[in-house]
Structure 1
């Protein structure tokens, strides 16, 4: 994407983890970025931090808003604010947010508690229903955008290799991430034929993002903290992934006008272990 025009980008789940890494990456590249998240602590932190990521010569704008993606009315209100902030235009929608609470919490699928179904409802709402609604609401803005020469805006859905490589008791997470792949293919056909809007999915493998949060910033935690030699050796690529690896894949999809309905796996290959720690 080097040398391209400044873009207007919307990122869900942009206050921490991969989303925050993307926020920082695209801000530093001179693009305008609107992020939303449901975590007030992390949102407050990036509101104090994000201006330092902006190049001094850049005329870009940014905004970080609170939005519970389980709440459809809140999503609709947020998109109205995105429309106002970006003058009715959007170049890139990145559906990154996922409810991770409860992942790996030790509950068995056959647990008879109400919490299991609450966890299911939350993950499907945030990880699958919200991207569908956001895609629908952003169509007018994306039609007015131009992420690549001769092309309107584009949608990028963040899935996971867990769509194919599930773990014990991760049914809701895996179902949402697998559903995103079907949604991506369907949306690419519907929105492509009618509006030339491209829709693609990225499937991250193990992306280490423990440094992409307020607590890590306060302690000046380096990216590699928490990783071991064995973590790197599990991967034929020789290391665990970074948020920047996802940003590079997104840049490819933004600039590639002939690519739509595709799944881009970003993974260093796990040679001896299939189970990933939390992204």
Structure 2
């Protein structure tokens, strides 16, 4: 018997799909039978992601959209409605940070981070939920927050504020959309290495209670859990995937 694909007949939209965690999410959901809609502001990276899937005989529908630009979001979902006619899972993964001391952080920089990470997540969630309500199939929305919503290093104010806002937005939307059978959850990744994993030092791994740095596949597994239709009792929550780092007390030795 062949492998039963977990997301056969599901349509999944993933933002920030051109690189890092988003790229691995596209590949993972496509390989599990989903029709994947990949969204990124970088057209070249998006095309590279799609080419990998096409080489495996898997189709990916691509949209070059910067989610900080609200005028692009509604037309994208209108086009999805027309072309797909269904939408089951949305992963709001697009995000960025600007690392500057708060004395030096410009208001335009603050706005760009908040508008991409927080406002973009809200608008994509709202437009997706409108379609899910229309299709009467329910759905799962996953918002990518960060352990930086819970703890900080210096010079991360805009990023931390946006990711903390995502956690609050998640439980608010879960309550508002519950009657539509739309679940809304968040994931807080810790250190997820998207570059050369083998170049990491042993000390990088050893500082984690789990004794290793995270991989994108760790976030994929969390997304699979939260988007599995059988897990329809899980909504409004945040899942921390960080190898235990936010639970580790730090003292100078």
Specify the alignment match of 2:206 in structure 1: 233
Q: C-alpha separation between the residues in 2 aligned to 1:34 and 1:4? A: 14
Kindly report the root-mean-square deviation, in angstroms, between the aligned alpha carbons of the 2 structures.
Answer: 2.0
Spell out the pairing of 1:100-139 with structure 2 (5 A cutoff).
100=97, 102-103=98-99, 107-111=100-104, 116-139=106-129
Deviations 1:196-241 (A, max 9, x none): 211111111111112xxxxxxxxxxxx5233111111011111111
Contact 2:7 2:32 in 1 (8 A): no
The structure with the largest helix share of the pair is 2
- Out of 207, 215, 221, the residue aligned to residue 248 of structure 1 is 221
Count of residue pairs the alignment pairs up: 243
Specify the alignment match of 1:96 in structure 2: 93
Q: C-alpha separation between the residues in 2 aligned to 1:67 and 1:244? A: 25
Residues 25 and 273 (structure 1), Cα distance of their counterparts in 2 relative to 1, 3 Å cut? farther
Normalised by the length of structure 1, the TM-score is 0.81
Residues 45 and 273 (structure 1), Cα distance of their counterparts in 2 relative to 1, 3 Å cut? farther
Q: CA deviation at 1:254?
A: 1.4
Spell out the pairing of 1:255-270 with structure 2 (5 A cutoff).
255=228, 256-270=231-245
Gap runs ≥5 in structure 2: none
Spell out the pairing of 1:1-279 with structure 2 (5 A cutoff).
3=6, 5-54=8-57, 61-87=59-85, 89-100=86-97, 102-103=98-99, 107-111=100-104, 116-143=106-133, 144=135, 146=137, 152-193=138-179, 195-210=180-195, 223-255=196-228, 256-270=231-245, 271=248
Gap runs ≥5 in structure 1: 56-60, 147-151, 211-222, 275-279
Structure 1 consecutive aligned stretches of length 4 or more whose deviation exceeds 6 Å: none
Normalised by the length of structure 2, the TM-score is 0.89
Q: C-alpha separation between the residues in 1 aligned to 2:198 and 2:249? A: 22
Deviations 1:22-79 (A, max 9, x none): 0111111121100111123312322332212446xxxxx4212110112111111111
Greater alpha carbon shift after TM alignment, 181-190 vs 127-136: 127-136
